[in-house]
Chain A
């Protein structure tokens, strides 16, 4: 693909949209600004579709690669590539982003700036999913914080400022640890290229090279990179920034944070930590498994105690992402190819499915919030199903998708994760079942308190979904059904890749 730098287009099209907004947006109305933002955001899905058309899942390596020398003094290349994992996440970004903007359609305060920042954020996330050199990977990684910070702080709720600072500082601190780790890696190996580093690791040369810096450097570097990723996912107990950030962010941004940004961390685990540090990860896996279990179980129980619906969904996100990490750590800790293949397939599927269902749930809470004019407590409503039957139906589907009901998207991923984890660490699968139970409990409590019972005072005048809200939720709901019945659509993209991973377990 010398002729068309498709991946660069994918990354920079949203930024181009932001530039257009910056120069043209001032002269046109609010709705024109929103439309420009939406169309630019939609470019990802369109271009991902183009990539999908000529993507060959059976070829396990990177495709559509672009590599140009960039900073030759540092041996830094501009290097982009796409494999099944990246494609999955680019598709997810492409689906979620326009819906986030649709969900933010009614944002009245400076829609042009909102659109610009959002497009910057989207481009940065795409850069993370496609970059193959640590240098610009890390630039995208950190750059994503800036627009997110302003989006939360300016358009967020009453506690947004504090939440935004906490989010950025916490993530930056993690990023600093990772940067330190990569600095050491660079000193030891002279390269920042993921593929080259992974080859070194596979050949068993990475740790000895790091050890030349000092005895403890292999461990220090591993911990540094781990911390950076752990904060981002987040891995329990590095998750405390998440509930306030998700809760205070405006609806569309919450959707993006949970739908796309939380996947950046898991992606980092799969793309960087696991290939580069197989041995330290293997050694740390029993410990990390407990942390992931903590996220699964305590995350779900903490959600049960929340009265703010957004915080509740935020905790459920911690719970759902912890399943991904649970599977990953189980795979890293044991070697059993068939169970590992199931666990890894489950992880990838869960990343995609969680993106859909969590984004839908945040959209739903946003819709409730828009009706109530602010309050979104568990006990502020009642009988919504009588008043807004269509919305109740959509929200109900999203809830059941999130609690892993078979027939909807969430189930297959969770089943595969549990199947894999049971094969690798049976006791962990047993404990994690508690999380499944608690999830059902708090999601059904949400549904019961808000939608059932007699119509509460103040709820009677709520109107059902309008056209924009309907269009926001409809694609997600359709995908929930579709992927629940035909998971093969998504699995086909990454199964050869996962099979190769499982076959070459370190």
Chain B
């Protein structure tokens, strides 16, 4: 059975339909919303499996189906679907882990009033994430990329009545959007330079030789090769989404979301989208690799950012007390490892670690969710303790997940995938610093996970909540068991002896393994490092377990200031508040000032000027023009006033005057006549 690329849209469309169902059913339609979500994702999983079979039949092939979206000028703007082993593995992973997390959520969210909305958002997320994976166009990828951001925003803020959750959601959206603008600019530049955004298009795609050759041949400001500049802008998007330094600050806050969300979005899938993106556009990232006289290679930046993030995340995780925040920083750190692998040239190692990490980190988060659910939402590991006896399934599966994360040798998937990364970093000829950072990170990872296990599961319960905890129902523990099995066996898909996954991803058909002895030195080193970390952790936290929730942390006793600094997450939030936050408020205040005083002020000034002119005009009219007229009138009016006094309206008076006048006339005539 094979799947034509033309029908790849089914994979994201099924969960999207479920999201629509979830949005339209009334609040009471809980079973319908959840049922639709799970059924759609299972169906999507089955389609993905067929896609995987199809892709593996010819791993070198890029099966594409491109279609017109809208008319643009004389041509059309096209989007497309792409099927290759990378797409297929990612689809299977997302739908499989997603289904388990959906099932787990049935139990975890049982009591929530917005249960149906939760499944609606989860389905929306799954649809967007799968759309991102099957996209054969950087724009379609970007669209899905923004939609997973939306789903993440909605789900972090799912308990929106909590101000902290609402704030965390906004912070996540804005912080990742900063990176996304870089991605957008990279996309625009790519489009402008190549005239296409399709990855593969029968030779005309942006990841194909013709376009890459022309991008690598152009130079832009600072001597930067255009492909490097575009690659770095695209990498900005990955930095934001995958919680890389310096945009990692949103990921720990994102733990405000319900724990299944943390497992699905902020551990297994969405945060790994940045790694997937760089792996997807790897030919572009690599286009400058053979050029010697360039200021920087795109992948070098990726490697250093990855190494910094890997070490930084592990350091901060040591000092966190919230079970989910420890895991969040562990995720930051592990994503750093993946970026490191991409940067040092081994994208297959990055994808291998992405896949194994998805399973064991989802397992750890669901385990944490199981603990939190059982302990009535107590998340502080200092107040937990003693759960190993009360929650046996959770304990055992969590321990298996921890072993995978730490990289306990040979039997756990994380060991093999991390080993591949260390191997690649060791072989990188640009610098050895990233390798050292990664090695140090391995010790710290073993250390903080031992601390997490010891504090959560060993010793005595240190709060009533922990005391009354008991194992959850099978709907929650069953996904844990399945994931735990995967966390172990997945590693065997890609051992040095039988590197099947690498082979498939690289598009080869014959698996060529080599003896374990070839990399034995490095492997021995990493075994020692893991043992060191486990030992130190056990010595500090396991041998003598915490006695009460308020007892000081043994490490904080030894190095209080360092621990406080780590606990405060290296003060990144404070730094950003003081710089970016202030700049932002200042810009807003400046814009508002301009509005009121300058632009508004100019208009007011103009209006006042108009009023003033009017005033002057009126005064001139009154004083000179009207004044002259008034004067003349006044001269007429003066006597008039006098005459008017005579007009009394008194008839007797008039008669009197008349008589008087008559007498005067007569007198005049008589006297005149007498002359």
Once the chains bind, are B163 and A454 in contact (CB under 8 Å)?
A: yes
| Cα–Cα distance between A426 and B599 once the two chains are bound (Å) | 28
Asked if A8 CB lies within 8 Å of chain B CBs, one says: no
| Cα–Cα distance between A51 and B536 once the two chains are bound (Å) | 79
| Cα–Cα distance between A133 and B394 once the two chains are bound (Å) | 79
Residue of A nearest to B146 (CB): A406
Asked if A304 CB lies within 8 Å of chain B CBs, one says: yes
Cβ of B258 to closest chain A Cβ, rounded Å: 16
CB within 8 Å for A433 and B184 given contacts A339-B192, A415-B139, A453-B160? yes
Cβ of A276 to closest chain B Cβ, rounded Å: 24
CB within 8 Å for A430 and B185 given contacts A385-B160, A453-B163? yes
Asked if A305 CB lies within 8 Å of chain B CBs, one says: yes
Once the chains bind, are B177 and A338 in contact (CB under 8 Å)?
A: no
Residue of A nearest to B173 (CB): A444
Once the chains bind, are B195 and A338 in contact (CB under 8 Å)?
A: yes
| Cα–Cα distance between A411 and B161 once the two chains are bound (Å) | 29
Once the chains bind, are B185 and A429 in contact (CB under 8 Å)?
A: yes
Asked if A298 CB lies within 8 Å of chain B CBs, one says: yes
Q: How would residues 132 to 171 of chain B score, 1 for a CB under 8 Å from any chain A CB and 0 otherwise?
A: 0000000100111011001000000100111101110110
Question: What chain B residues lie within 8 Å of A389 (beta carbons)?
Answer: 27
Contact of B70 among A302, A385, A452, A488 (CB under 8 A): A488
Cβ of B597 to closest chain A Cβ, rounded Å: 11
Interface of chain B residues 47 through 90 with chain A (CB within 8 A): 69-74
Instruction: Tally A residues with Cβ within 8 Å of B.
Output: 64
| Cα–Cα distance between A360 and B200 once the two chains are bound (Å) | 39
Most chain-A Cβ atoms within 10 A of its Cβ — which of B73, B166, B178, B181?
B73
Cβ of B128 to closest chain A Cβ, rounded Å: 8
CB within 8 Å for A437 and B174 given contacts A240-B599, A418-B184, A453-B166? yes
Once the chains bind, are A499 and B584 in contact (CB under 8 Å)?
A: no
Contact of B73 among A342, A386, A426 (CB under 8 A): A342
Q: How would residues 390 to 427 of chain A score, 1 for a CB under 8 Å from any chain B CB and 0 otherwise?
A: 00000000001000011100011001101100110010
| Cα–Cα distance between A229 and B590 once the two chains are bound (Å) | 27
Most chain-B Cβ atoms within 10 A of its Cβ — which of A240, A306, A342, A386?
A240
Contact of B143 among A243, A400, A411, A503 (CB under 8 A): A411
| Cα–Cα distance between A422 and B188 once the two chains are bound (Å) | 7
Interface of chain A residues 54 through 83 with chain B (CB within 8 A): none
| Cα–Cα distance between A342 and B188 once the two chains are bound (Å) | 12
Asked if A495 CB lies within 8 Å of chain B CBs, one says: yes
Asked if B595 CB lies within 8 Å of chain A CBs, one says: yes
Asked if A487 CB lies within 8 Å of chain B CBs, one says: yes
| Cα–Cα distance between A436 and B177 once the two chains are bound (Å) | 9
Once the chains bind, are B72 and A239 in contact (CB under 8 Å)?
A: no
Question: What chain B residues lie within 8 Å of A423 (beta carbons)?
Answer: 188, 192
Question: What chain B residues lie within 8 Å of A419 (beta carbons)?
Answer: 188, 191-192
| Cα–Cα distance between A338 and B196 once the two chains are bound (Å) | 12
| Cα–Cα distance between A237 and B601 once the two chains are bound (Å) | 11
Question: What chain A residues lie within 8 Å of B167 (beta carbons)?
Answer: 448
Asked if A175 CB lies within 8 Å of chain B CBs, one says: no
Once the chains bind, are B161 and A499 in contact (CB under 8 Å)?
A: no
Asked if B214 CB lies within 8 Å of chain A CBs, one says: no
Cβ of A178 to closest chain B Cβ, rounded Å: 18
Interface of chain A residues 370 through 390 with chain B (CB within 8 A): 383, 385-386, 389
Once the chains bind, are A345 and B73 in contact (CB under 8 Å)?
A: yes
CB within 8 Å for A406 and B142 given contacts A495-B73, A502-B73? yes
Once the chains bind, are B189 and A422 in contact (CB under 8 Å)?
A: yes
CB within 8 Å for A170 and B73 given contacts A441-B584, A448-B166, A453-B160? no
Cβ of B447 to closest chain A Cβ, rounded Å: 38
Once the chains bind, are A495 and B599 in contact (CB under 8 Å)?
A: no
Q: How would residues 359 to 370 of chain B score, 1 for a CB under 8 Å from any chain A CB and 0 otherwise?
A: 000000000000
Asked if A359 CB lies within 8 Å of chain B CBs, one says: no
Sort chain B's interface into a size bin.
Answer: 35 or more
Asked if B587 CB lies within 8 Å of chain A CBs, one says: yes
Asked if B223 CB lies within 8 Å of chain A CBs, one says: no
Residue of B nearest to A337 (CB): B73
Question: What chain B residues lie within 8 Å of A488 (beta carbons)?
Answer: 69-71
Once the chains bind, are B594 and A444 in contact (CB under 8 Å)?
A: no
Asked if A491 CB lies within 8 Å of chain B CBs, one says: yes
Interface of chain A residues 267 through 305 with chain B (CB within 8 A): 297-299, 301-302, 304-305
Cβ of B240 to closest chain A Cβ, rounded Å: 12
Once the chains bind, are A302 and B595 in contact (CB under 8 Å)?
A: yes
| Cα–Cα distance between A415 and B142 once the two chains are bound (Å) | 11
Once the chains bind, are A305 and B73 in contact (CB under 8 Å)?
A: no
Once the chains bind, are B181 and A433 in contact (CB under 8 Å)?
A: yes
Once the chains bind, are B73 and A499 in contact (CB under 8 Å)?
A: yes
Interface of chain B residues 7 through 27 with chain A (CB within 8 A): 27
Cβ of B264 to closest chain A Cβ, rounded Å: 20
Asked if A119 CB lies within 8 Å of chain B CBs, one says: no
Asked if B589 CB lies within 8 Å of chain A CBs, one says: yes
Q: How would residues 346 to 374 of chain A score, 1 for a CB under 8 Å from any chain B CB and 0 otherwise?
A: 00000000000000000000000000000
Question: What chain B residues lie within 8 Å of A170 (beta carbons)?
Answer: 603
| Cα–Cα distance between A499 and B144 once the two chains are bound (Å) | 29
Asked if A445 CB lies within 8 Å of chain B CBs, one says: yes
Once the chains bind, are A405 and B73 in contact (CB under 8 Å)?
A: no
Once the chains bind, are A383 and B73 in contact (CB under 8 Å)?
A: no
| Cα–Cα distance between A400 and B600 once the two chains are bound (Å) | 30
Once the chains bind, are B178 and A298 in contact (CB under 8 Å)?
A: no
Asked if B588 CB lies within 8 Å of chain A CBs, one says: yes
Asked if B577 CB lies within 8 Å of chain A CBs, one says: no
Asked if A455 CB lies within 8 Å of chain B CBs, one says: yes
Residue of B nearest to A492 (CB): B71
Once the chains bind, are B160 and A452 in contact (CB under 8 Å)?
A: yes
Interface of chain A residues 217 through 236 with chain B (CB within 8 A): 236
Once the chains bind, are A240 and B147 in contact (CB under 8 Å)?
A: no
Question: What chain B residues lie within 8 Å of A264 (beta carbons)?
Answer: none
Once the chains bind, are B70 and A386 in contact (CB under 8 Å)?
A: no
Asked if B666 CB lies within 8 Å of chain A CBs, one says: no
Asked if B621 CB lies within 8 Å of chain A CBs, one says: no
Asked if B592 CB lies within 8 Å of chain A CBs, one says: yes
| Cα–Cα distance between A357 and B356 once the two chains are bound (Å) | 43
> What are 19 A-B contacts with C-beta separation under 8 Å?
A240-B600, A298-B591, A341-B73, A405-B147, A407-B146, A412-B70, A419-B191, A426-B192, A429-B188, A433-B185, A437-B177, A437-B178, A448-B166, A452-B160, A453-B160, A453-B162, A453-B163, A495-B71, A495-B72
A residues whose Cβ falls under 8 Å from a Cβ of B: 166, 170, 236-237, 239-241, 243, 297-299, 301-302, 304-306, 337-339, 341-342, 345, 383, 385-386, 389, 400, 405-407, 411-412, 415-416, 418-419, 422-423, 426, 429-430, 433, 436-438, 440-441, 444-445, 448, 451-455, 487-488, 491-492, 495, 498-499, 502-503
In addition to A302-B591, A445-B170, 20 A-B residue pairs with Cβ atoms within 8 Å of each other are: A237-B602, A298-B595, A301-B591, A305-B589, A341-B74, A407-B146, A407-B147, A411-B143, A412-B70, A423-B192, A426-B192, A452-B157, A453-B166, A455-B161, A487-B69, A488-B71, A492-B71, A495-B71, A498-B73, A503-B74
B residues whose Cβ falls under 8 Å from a Cβ of A: 27, 69-74, 139, 142-144, 146-147, 150, 157, 160-163, 165-167, 169-170, 173-174, 177-178, 181, 184-185, 188-189, 191-192, 195, 584, 587-592, 594-595, 598-600, 602-603
